[in-house]
Chain A
């Protein structure tokens, strides 16, 4: 198993550009989520999905869109990039959405710089 994979590893954007951060998992996990990690802020949840076709907002969803057409993939779209979106983005998955035994598996991250 490759686990949770993310592409690209690093990206530079200009303000106003759009892009999609890719996330895929090969563990047949129901639950997938996106976090951003900023210095002094910790990790914050952007969007999450409890299964194919079902998504919902987390703590900081503004400026981001997601979709979940398959169990494996959960892309994160930046519609019009802003410098405030400069961050490291992590995708995570777990076998099921609910339950107290569900370990979260994280991808390696995408480092995004918006100029």
Chain B
């Protein structure tokens, strides 16, 4: 059974700092990995999707990497801003018989202080 772990559970940083969020998964047989952002009381917004054959994806100040063999992904946020404050969720889509669903981590609550 796929399990996804996100470390740390919560992170508080001053504005302008670069930061890294970590995600690990137990089964390397995945189709892709997605990073989502969730604001309080809101739905999930997809930030980046990395296919299993890719090593990284970039969007603006965000960079996500994937090391499938070791079961790890990182989300790097450059020059953090107070507007980046949210919960960040990592999710993997399994391959084979489990590729119909996403398995989510419990998220990292990020607070960026002005």
Contacts and interface: CB of A to CB of B under 8 A. Distances in A.
Interface residues of A, number: 29
A40 B106 contact: yes
A98 to B, nearest CB: 6
B49 A56 contact: no
B100 A56 contact: yes
A40 B53 CA distance: 31
A109 B104 CA distance: 16
Nearest to B1: A59
Contacts of B104: 42-44
A97 to B, nearest CB: 6
Interface string B29-58: 001101010000111111001011100000
Contacts of A98: 99-100
A50 interface: yes
A33 B31 CA distance: 18
A63 interface: no
B34 A103 contact: yes
A18 to B, nearest CB: 25
Interface string A66-102: 0000000000000000000000001010000111111
Interface of A: 4, 31, 33, 40-45, 48, 50, 56, 58-59, 90, 92, 97-109
Nearest first, the 6 A-B pairs at minimum CB distance are A100-B31, A106-B44, A106-B43, A43-B104, A108-B43, A100-B51
Given A58-B101, A98-B100, 14 more contacts: A31-B100, A40-B106, A42-B4, A42-B107, A44-B104, A45-B101, A59-B101, A98-B99, A100-B93, A101-B32, A102-B32, A102-B93, A103-B49, A104-B44
